[in-house]
Chain A
Amino acid sequence: MKPLTVSNLALVRDAPDDRRFDFEVSPGEIVVVLGRNGSGKSLLASCLAGQRVSRGASVAVCGHEVFHSRSRPSALARLGVVFQHPGLLRTLSVFDNVALPFLQNSLGLSGQLAGLVGLRLDLLGCTHLAGMGTESLGEGDKRCVALARALSGTTRFLIADEPVAALSPETRARVEDLLVVLVGRGALDGAILCTQDIEFALRVGSRFLFLKDPDPLTGAIGGVREERTSATLFDHPQPPEISAFLSRRKEWQN
Chain B
Amino acid sequence: MLCERYNRYSVTSLIWQFGVGLMMITGNILRRKPTIIESECVGRVLSFARGTLPSSLLMTFLYGFGFAYFVMTRLPSVQVFRQFAVPHMGGVFFLYVIPAAIANLVVIRGVVTLTSDIASMRSSQELDALEVARFHPAHFVFMPRALALMIGAPALFVLGVFAAFFGAWCACQFTFRPPMGAFWEQFLFSITSWKASMALFKVGLTAVITAFIAGYFGFEGSILRADTVGKTTTDAVVTATLAITTINILVGLFLD
Contact = CB atoms under 8 A, between A and B. Distances in A.
Interface of A: 10-13, 43, 46-47, 49-54, 57, 67, 73, 76-77, 79, 81, 83-92, 96, 99-101, 103-104, 108-109, 146, 149, 153
B30 interface: no
Interface in B96-130: 121, 123-126, 128-130
B36 A52 contact: no
Interface string B22-64: 0000000000010110001001000000000000000000000
B253 interface: no
B2 A81 contact: no
14 contacts: A43-B2, A50-B131, A51-B7, A52-B2, A52-B3, A53-B4, A73-B134, A81-B132, A83-B125, A87-B125, A89-B126, A91-B40, A103-B35, A149-B129
Nearest to A86: B125
B3 A90 contact: no
A153 B134 CA distance: 11
Interface in B123-151: 123-126, 128-135, 140
Given A87-B126, A88-B126, A108-B35, A52 B6 contact: yes
A81 B128 CA distance: 9
A52 B5 contact: yes
Given A52-B3, A96-B36, A104 B132 contact: no
A12 B2 contact: yes
Interface in B227-242: none
Nearest to A69: B6
A51 B126 contact: no
Contact of A49 (B1, B2, B40, B132): B132
Contacts of B132: 49-51, 76, 79, 81
Given A12-B1, A12-B2, A49-B128, 15 more contacts: A46-B128, A51-B131, A51-B132, A53-B6, A54-B4, A57-B3, A81-B132, A83-B128, A90-B126, A91-B43, A99-B36, A100-B130, A104-B134, A104-B135, A109-B33
Contacts of A52: 2-6
A84 B6 contact: no
A88 B129 contact: yes
A149 B133 CA distance: 9
Nearest to A90: B126
A85 B131 CA distance: 15
Contacts of A79: 132
Chain A CB within 10 Å — which of B6, B7, B123, B129 has the most?
B129
Contacts of B43: 91
Contacts of B35: 103, 108
A39 to B, nearest CB: 14
A108 B132 CA distance: 17
Contacts of B125: 83-87
Nearest to A102: B133
Nearest to A93: B36
B128 A87 contact: yes
Contacts of A109: 33
Contacts of B1: 12-13
Name the residue in A11, A91, A101 with the highest tally of chain B Cβ atoms < 10 Å from its Cβ.
Answer: A91
Contacts of B131: 50-51
A103 to B, nearest CB: 6
A43 B3 CA distance: 9
A85 B135 contact: no
Contacts of A50: 6, 131-132
A99 to B, nearest CB: 8
A5 B170 CA distance: 73
Contact of A100 (B4, B5, B123, B135): B135
